[in-house]
Structure 1
Amino acid sequence: MTVITSTSTVVPSKPTPSGLLWLSESDQMAPWTHAPLVYIYRHNNNNTIPFVMETMRNSLSEALVHYYPLAGRLHWIEGGRLELDCNAMGAQLLEAYSEAKLDELGDFAPTDTVQDLIPKVDYTTPIENWPLFLVQLTRFRCGGLCLGVAISDSVVDGQAANSFINSWAKLARGENLGDDQIPFHDRTVLRSRKPLMPPRFDHVEYTTKPPLLIGSMDSQAEQQKETSVTLLKVTSDQVESLRKIANQNMVMRLTRPYSKYEAIAGHMWRCACKARASNNRQSTRVRIGVEVRNRLKPALPRGYFGNAMFGTVTSNCLSGDLLSNPLSYASGKLREAIERMTDEYIRSALDFMASQKHIGWLRNNFHIRGYTNAPFLGNPNISIGSWINLPFYDADFGWGKPVYVGPGLLNIDGKSFIMPSPVADGSLIIALRLQTQYMDSFKKFFYADMDCKEPHAMSAKL
């Protein structure tokens, strides 16, 4: 059991810019909930980590001077949109203690036990009351430590959040931030042109609903089914094996080989179809988040602190086609969705969002279990996020690097993230939530097919 021993509000250590900060359409599109992360630390000699709460509090106060939007508060405005008031009301810092040992948490998959390590936000209260950054520091009986984070998805994406955490860690070590670590806060670089142009593309990622199971009128029954979470470990040799398989038996001409993400995500998509024993004629698609800082022309300024993550989807594919074709077929569909995100397409998407009188219907992927007021991204579909290139393990607060960093919650069926491992040898970790009845089969296919010259084609149920 985890017991909260203290709660405090941490404000910037110096005066910071005040007033309203304009939020881009990509900020508006993000869920208004908080993204949960856990950072796990062990002492090398299995002793208590030399942890000083005052150091953490003071360094967080200093970090909020540079990252002052996180000390502000959100407000609802017309059209279901939000504005950010930089009022320096501060972040929330909690200290907790657990009688458990870190080993009792297993591999730190986002189970209910791990969720206790994340600060709780009362979403029934007015949004003006919600801190945008909350952190819970939990000491364990074994001497280990967990830093549990809840950070507003309306204010930052994964890269921005990671930049903040690593900068805070550097300040906690007594070091200063370099010029290349100072955040850029002007989000108007993503403002649509005036007068507003009509979209130049058909933005199916917003205008079309995910496929439903054959014979179903809605996804309500699927949303009610029991789900489970798991962490899948993938060695560097297995990663390279999948990449090699994906780049064999090409079904389309490539200008460059398929990436780690495209190979692994394609494999996961096929395994989901196999595990679910989908009808050959079952339509399915993958939702992908694409980080666009360097896809725009010109690229966003260095240190851009905001949401630069845009959702895209593959074309609808038949399960039978995914399973009867080589892995390169699935990887190719993912490549098509990712390469769609050009500067012109992104600008068109921003114009599409800006043209909506009410933007609420476009939001999805909320970080709340059982939340049904958003599109269901699960069976027969899957959502595969990539955290492969995020430097999570640079978060050294003075007691060494974390031994694990991952999501504190996966809220719906089919949601997953491909993440770096702490070993830094090219191996990866996949966090996945799937309907319980399919999880064992998914794991079996995931590993059994990985080392084959070509993952077995498998006919789906007729």
Structure 2
Amino acid sequence: MKANTVTSSDPSVRLLQRQTLRCADPNVCSSLPETTTKYGPFDQLVAPFIPVAVVFVYDQPNSSEPIIPVQRLQHALELLLNHYPQLTGRLNILPDGSYEMTRIGTGAELVIAECIEHLDSFADDEGRISLMDLPGASNALFGPYDASSDGICRDPLFTIQHTRFACGSVALGIRVRHNNCDGNGFFQLVRDLAELYRGLKGNSIPTLARPPHFQSYMSDLVMTQEERQEALAFKPSLLVVDPLPEAVAIPTKPPPVVGRILRFSGTALEELKVQATEPDSSNSWVSIFEAIAALLYQSVFRARLHYFANDPSSMSPPDYLSPIDFRGKRFPELPTAYFPNALLCVYTSLSHDMLSNAPLWQIAKHLHDLMRNEVPDADHVKNTLRWVVAQPDKTRIRSGFRPGNGSIMVSQWAKFDMYTGTEFDGEKPRLVSTPFTPISLADGLAYTLPTEMQGKMGGDEQAIDVNVALSEPIWEILEHDEQLRHFSSSWSNIGVRSG
């Protein structure tokens, strides 16, 4: 284990060591048919500098035995890499813009750190811990990350930081490059790690009850010239090739972006769902996610319209985007326990008049139909992916969504059971959340997340947190939005600010 002095983003956290992680069985990597593995077309649609990063915080129980000792965690991680050996590799970007994993066996990374404070010193008067209150708004609980073009090809695909607080409690900051997996695959990875860790308490070497499927769909597809031309003739509904449909003006010096957390109680969500459902229609329904997304879409648009009232042309089109997971019945060709990405992003753009004046249920109904009907069937998905594989220059592939200071992107993480299966030493995490980082502080980006009350007796298990990043002056206008304030029971008092 090598010592490596690294500066933390918070003075209360000290990084002690950085340890290279390799497969517990050294024959695993050497037995792979190739030391280079191609990414599939789902993965190709994700920018390589974007990570999936989540912090898991665990209380030290009333026991003399420390929770999640580093040595046992390291052993579990090495066993995990027997099942995920490609995560020991490095990213390589080919001249046509396609990605591959190379140098498999180079290693993942475990960072060992300590915090000089007790975990409860970051809690509020009710004992609740928010990621906003943790060191560096929880960013100090993750290993160093370099999103530059050099860093994304040089550094590990998978890192985990083990931070022990002065009271013995532990935070695990886990990060995987997004072009390796989506949120579903990420939490599968963490549950697999926890399962192997728990198995180490026995006398035998543990194995996974349900090993992951690691190979990306269509990553091994080889086309003839005729097949390639046929694939390129397909017109996907969600993707385009440069140039974008409409140029988006970007301010030369935009205001800073602030990340805040909105909490919606279970009761408020039921009321919101009623308001977002078409009245007097027995066949109409919307999900909680669609109701929240519609509320954010309308409220944020109205605030932006007010802010840009003197210069409406400075606001980009009010586009909306959401990713859809195609595991399961929507695309049955994906195998069970599929780890890589399985997402396509649907998008739409409603008129200024509708977003300004329509009742909430009309916007929610539009989003409901978008989520279910924009991709016609499994054949359309398959042909879209073949179209991606066939592209001669994959750097030119774009979503038809137009990002900018008028758009909004809402991702559904509340569906993930983050607090179940991620127990290491018997106790559920006290908090699971994704931080605001320099990358995720994108104006108009929002995530729905389960709260720390998920699975707790007597708690509001149906409550949802929404992490939202918006331009600072838009937040100032939303402070007076009666509709948004009515449904969200609390707003974080501290915001994470870019710049």
TM range (shorter): 0.7 to 0.9
Q: State the one-letter code of the partner of 1:398.
A: D
Question: What is the CA-CA distance between 1:407 and the residue it aligns to?
Answer: 1.5
Contact kept in structure 2, 1:46 and 1:142, CA below 8 Å: no
Calculate percent identity across the aligned residue pairs.
Answer: 19
1:89-108 aligned at under 5 Å gives the runs: 89-102=106-119, 103-104=121-122, 107-108=130-131
Partner residue in 2 for 1:183: 212
Please state whether the residue corresponding to 1:331 is helix, strand or coil: helix
Counterpart of 2:286, as a letter, is Y
- The separation in 2 between residues aligned to 1:120 and 1:376, in whole angstroms, is 31
Inter-partner Cα distance in structure 1 for 2:246 and 2:270: 32
Offset, 1:177: 4.8
- Residue in structure 2 matched with residue 276 of structure 1 by the alignment: 304
Aligned residue number for residue 198 of structure 1: 232
Q: After alignment, is 96-105 or 402-411 more displaced?
A: 96-105
Q: Name the SS of the counterpart of 2:232 in structure 1.
A: coil
Q: 1:380 to 1:398 in 2, by over 3 A?
A: same
Task: Tell me what 2:463 maps to.
Answer: 427
| 1:218 counterpart residue number | 249
Alignment partners' CA distance in 2, 1:417 and 1:310: 16
Q: Does 1:401 align with 2:428?
A: yes
State the alpha-carbon separation in 2 of the partners of residues 293 and 396 from structure 1.
Answer: 25
Partner of 1:174: 199
CA distance in structure 1 between the aligned counterparts of 2:161 and 2:475, rounded to whole angstroms: 31
Within the candidate set 307, 317, 320, 1:286 is matched to 320
1:299 Cα deviation (Å)? 3.8
Q: What SS does structure 2 have at the residue aligned with 1:80?
A: coil
- Say whether the 8 Å CA contact 2:58–2:169 is kept in structure 1: yes
Equivalent in 439, 448, 451 of residue 485 of structure 2 = 448
Q: Which residue of 2 aligns with 1:382?
A: 408
1:158 matched to 2:183 = yes
Contact 2:302–2:355 (8 Å) recurs in 1? no
Distance 1:174 1:308 in 2: 29
Query: Once the 2 structures are TM-superposed, how far is the Cα of residue 432 of structure 1 from its aligned partner?
Result: 0.9
User: Which consecutive unaligned segments of at least 5 residues does structure 2 have?
Assistant: 1-10, 124-128, 201-205, 455-460, 489-499
Point out the more displaced range, 321-330 or 82-91. Answer: 82-91
Paired position in structure 1 for 2:173:
148
- Mark the CA change 1:41 to 1:322 in structure 2 (over 3 Å): closer, same or farther: same
Aligned mates of 1:50, 1:31 — CA distance in 2: 36
1:87 equivalent in structure 2: 104
Tell me, in whole angstroms, the C-alpha distance in 2 between the residues paired with 1:359 and 1:414: 26
Mapped partners of 2:329, 2:388: distance in 1: 19
One of 15, 33, 53 as aligned partner of 1:36: 53
Distance 1:100 1:91, change over 3 A: same
> 1:13 Cα deviation (Å)?
0.5
Structure 2 match to 1:411: 441
1:9 alignment partner in structure 2: 20
Unaligned 5+ segments in structure 1 are 365-373, 452-462
Report the Cα distance in structure 2 between the residues aligned to 1:286 and 1:205, rounded to whole angstroms.
15
Determine if contact 1:46/1:143 at 8 Å carries over to the other structure: no
Deviations 1:347-369 (A, max 9, x none): 232133223222224469xxxxx
Out of 49, 69, 78, the position equivalent to 1:52 is 69
Cα drift, residue 376 of structure 1: 7.2
Shift of 1:442: 2.7
Aligned equivalents of 2:64 and 2:463: distance in 1? 28
Q: CA RMSD in A?
A: 3.0
Q: Secondary structure at the match of 2:171?
A: strand
**Structure 1 residues 55 and 431, CA, compared in 2 at 3 Å: closer, same or farther?**
same
1:118 partnered with 2:145 = no
Which residue of structure 2 aligns with residue 62 of structure 1?
Answer: 79
Equivalence for 2:4: none
Match of 2:367 among 324, 334, 359: 334
User: How far does residue 205 in structure 1 lie from its aligned partner after superposition?
Assistant: 4.7
Q: Which residue of 1 aligns with 2:264?
A: 234
What count of residue pairs does the alignment treat as equivalent? 433
Q: C-alpha separation between the residues in 1 aligned to 2:367 and 2:164? A: 42
Cα shift readout 1:199-239 (whole Å, capped 9, x = no counterpart): 54453554585878xxxx61234x73111111111111111
TM-score, structure 1 normalization: 0.84
* TM-score normalised per structure 2: 0.78
**What is the one-letter code of the residue matched to 2:345?**
G
1:308 to 342, 359, 380: 342
Counterparts of 1:81 and 1:115, CA distance in 2: 30
Question: What letter matches 2:276 in structure 1?
Answer: A
Report SS of the residue matched to 1:349: helix
Q: What displacement does 1:241 show?
A: 1.2
Give the residue type in structure 2 aligned to 1:324: N
CA contact (8 A) 2:236 2:384 kept: no
Letter in 2 for 1:355: A
Aligned-partner residue type, residue 122 of structure 2: E
Q: Quick check: 1:347 aligned with 2:363? A: no
Q: What one-letter code is carried by the residue in structure 1 that aligns with 2:393?
A: H
| d(CA) in 2 for partners of 1:419, 1:199 | 39
- Indicate conservation of the 8 Å contact 1:183/1:305, yes or no: yes
